[in-house]
Amino acid sequence: MNLAFIILIGSFLLLISILAGKTSYRFGVPTLVLFLAVGMLAGSEGLLGINFDSPLAAQFVGIIALNVILFSGGLDTRWNAVKPVLYKGGILATLGVFITAGTVGIFTYYLLDFTLAESFLLGAIISSTDAAAVFSILRSNNVNLKGGIRPLLELESGSNDPMAYFLTTLLTGIVLVNEFNVIDSILELVLQISIGAVLGFGLGKLSKLLINRIALDFEGLYPVLGISLSFIIYSLTEVLSGNGFLAVYISSVLLGNSKLIRKNSLREFFDGFAWLMQIILFLTLGLLVFPSHIIPVALTGLFIALFLILVARPLSVFISLAFFKVPVKNKLFISWVGLRGAVPIVFATFPMVAGLEKADLIFNIVFIVTLVSIMLQGTTIIKMAKWLGVEDKNTKSLKKASSFAFSDETKTETAEIILTENSLAVNKKLYQLKLPKNTLIVMIIRNNKYFVPEGSTKLQVGDTLQLISAKSKDLDIVAKKFG
């Protein structure tokens, strides 16, 4: 096949995926479904007939993509937000994963002609959550949640992949050799987590020193440096028998909450790069799927998905959070937001690469479970938040001002507010607004034109006010009063 033609097809699929993802927001459907659908349509049984049947290549793409996604998520994780829910998120990401894998495994053992090890392997593969799709829906609908639910879900989703990865690789080996040693498995778990945590923290500190002191001649090289460091952290940890995913997440959280030069440019780059890797990952997984193999196991996958959503996930959440004072409504919502995404599908390639007898069946079941989870839970998150009363209507999500940005070290906050018909600021002059101290409206966007306002400037419906303030809580006050 001509190289130019391959590039044309690849870029065309990328464009379609982006456009499909933008359209999906309007219907409350996570972009994952659209990306997978585009990949399936382009696959060997689709319209383009691209022949792709390499689990090893899909696994390689998956590991690279997950590293970038975890690193980007860690850079955006605010320590002050997750610190209050650190123990809750940690228990959900460890004990919760074990409970989910165990309960799904037992259910699968009695439902299918699987051995106990094969059943637990299936449970382990679908035991981790993927909040990327959740937050895309929450952000697009401007929804805020009460009781620290959002940072808890963020922390859980960023830290439970390593545990699921460990269980998946462990159980794949057990099924392969048909041998299990409890003491060795526990020691391996402790060793992987310990090495991953220590190296993640240590290499994160070294990465901070390197980024701050290297003094590169071109600013564009800093993101390249960030990419190389993220892959070094993962691969070095894996070589030393640690959990690479955990190390990457811990190091990126440390970097994201440290004084770091070019931090904003690093965050912006990795945000876009993570989206690119997600699209490539989903397209690759979609290409790997054969629809004719999915249909025969659709009913089985549906049963397992419903058990996961209605029994296993709530059970893991309620048991894990039983140690804390968390309202029942919050637990129910957290249970419902246990979305399965691309990670389980990537993990489902491990048995295929290992050559397990029922690997193809496991992969197809996992694919069905993921689709059911996203279509059932992903499209009803907003309704569930309102029905359970966990939506915080008194707090608005403030968007960063698009016209300017400051370094994190300046401790200057920016935001933009769009005035609606019901806003108290409409038809008032700027000097009439009683803004908090050290909070200024420095620019207004009106009819797609930017101008610097004066005290006599009269505000109109549709004006976008761009503000700066010394304190984020003052911006929240302005948003609540005039937004």
pLDDT digits (tens, 9 = 90+) for 345-367: 889 999 999 989 899 999 999 99
Residues 188 and 305 placed together within one structural domain of the fold: yes
Q: Checking phi first, is residue 148 left (phi over 0); if not, alpha (psi -120 to 50) or beta?
A: left
Residues 363 and 420 placed together within one structural domain of the fold: no
Domain for residue 395, yes or no?
Answer: no
| Confidence at residue 8, expressed as pLDDT on a 0 to 100 scale | 82
| Confidence at residue 136, expressed as pLDDT on a 0 to 100 scale | 59
| CA distances (Å), origin 415, targets 79, 216, 262, 396, 466 | 21, 31, 20, 11, 6
H or E segment at 284? helix 263-288
Domain for residue 403, yes or no?
Answer: no
Structure tokens at 261: 């030069």
| Confidence at residue 205, expressed as pLDDT on a 0 to 100 scale | 94
Domain for residue 394, yes or no?
Answer: no
CATH of the domain at 265: 1.20.1530.20
State the residue range of the domain holding 417: 408-482
Residues 369 and 472 placed together within one structural domain of the fold: no
Domain for residue 398, yes or no?
Answer: no
Residues 38 and 176 placed together within one structural domain of the fold: yes
Domain for residue 393, yes or no?
Answer: no
Q: What is the mean pLDDT of residues 442-470?
A: 87
Q: What is the mean pLDDT of residues 169-173?
A: 90
pLDDT surpasses 80 at 140: no
Number of domains in the chain: 2
H or E segment at 314? helix 313-320
Q: Do the beta carbons of residue 41 and residue 47 sit within 8 Å?
A: yes
Residues 419 and 352 placed together within one structural domain of the fold: no
Instruction: Tell how strand 449-451 and strand 439-446 pair up.
Output: antiparallel
Give the C-alpha separation, 338 to 380, whole Å.
Answer: 12
Domain for residue 400, yes or no?
Answer: no
Most confident of 179-193, 195-209, 330-344: 195-209
Length of the chain: 483
| Confidence at residue 134, expressed as pLDDT on a 0 to 100 scale | 61
Domain for residue 401, yes or no?
Answer: no
Residues 171 and 259 placed together within one structural domain of the fold: yes
Which range has the worst mean pLDDT, 103-112, 327-336, 447-456? 447-456
Residues 352 and 248 placed together within one structural domain of the fold: yes
Q: What is the mean pLDDT of residues 3-12?
A: 78
Give the C-alpha separation, 385 to 388, whole Å.
Answer: 5
Residues 355 and 437 placed together within one structural domain of the fold: no
> Which of residues 314 and 287 earns the better pLDDT score?
314
| Confidence at residue 30, expressed as pLDDT on a 0 to 100 scale | 61
Q: 412-432 pLDDT, tens per residue?
A: 778 888 888 888 888 888 888
| Confidence at residue 328, expressed as pLDDT on a 0 to 100 scale | 93
Residues 34 and 65 placed together within one structural domain of the fold: yes
Q: Which of 358, 388, 418 is the last residue of a domain?
A: 388
Residues 331 and 462 placed together within one structural domain of the fold: no
pLDDT classification of 318: cutoffs 50, 70, 90: very high
pLDDT surpasses 90 at 316: yes
Give the C-alpha separation, 407 to 383, whole Å.
Answer: 37
Q: Do the beta carbons of residue 321 and residue 92 sit within 8 Å?
A: yes
Residues 94 and 238 placed together within one structural domain of the fold: yes
| Confidence at residue 124, expressed as pLDDT on a 0 to 100 scale | 95
Q: Do the beta carbons of residue 297 and residue 365 sit within 8 Å?
A: yes
pLDDT surpasses 70 at 408: no
Domain for residue 396, yes or no?
Answer: no
Q: For residue 288, give the nearest of 60, 20, 121, 15 by alpha carbon.
A: 60
Q: 32-77 pLDDT, tens per residue?
A: 677 777 888 887 777 777 788 888 988 898 899 888 888 888 888 8
Q: Do the beta carbons of residue 100 and residue 123 sit within 8 Å?
A: yes
H or E segment at 108? helix 86-111
Give the C-alpha separation, 74 to 97, whole Å.
Answer: 20
pLDDT surpasses 90 at 268: no
> Which of residues 176 and 27 earns the better pLDDT score?
176
Q: How far is CA 107 from the centre of its chain?
A: 28
Q: Is the C-alpha dihedral spanning 171, 314, 367, 110 positive or negative?
A: positive
What value does the mean pLDDT of the chain take?
84
Q: What is the mean pLDDT of residues 454-483?
A: 83
Residues 115 and 211 placed together within one structural domain of the fold: yes
Long-range CB pairs of 50-54 (<8 Å, 24+ gap) are: 50/9, 50/287, 52/284, 52/287, 52/288, 53/288, 54/288
